[in-house]
Amino acid sequence: MQEKKGRKKGQVRMPARARGAGNVNVHIVKRKGHLERFDERKVYASCYEACLSAQIPNSTAEHICGLASDDVKKWVLTQRQVNSHQIFLRVAEFLRKHHKDVAFMYETHRDVS
Q: What is the pTM of this model?
A: 0.74
Percent of the chain with pLDDT over 70: 75
* Residue closest to 61 by CA, chosen among 2, 101, 21: 101
What integer pLDDT is reported at residue 76 of this predicted model? 93
Q: Name the average pLDDT for the chain.
A: 81
Q: For 70-112, write each residue's pLDDT tens digit.
A: 999 999 999 888 998 999 999 999 999 999 999 999 999 875 5
Q: What dihedral angle (degrees, nearest 10) is formed by the CA atoms of 87, 20, 111, 94?
A: 50
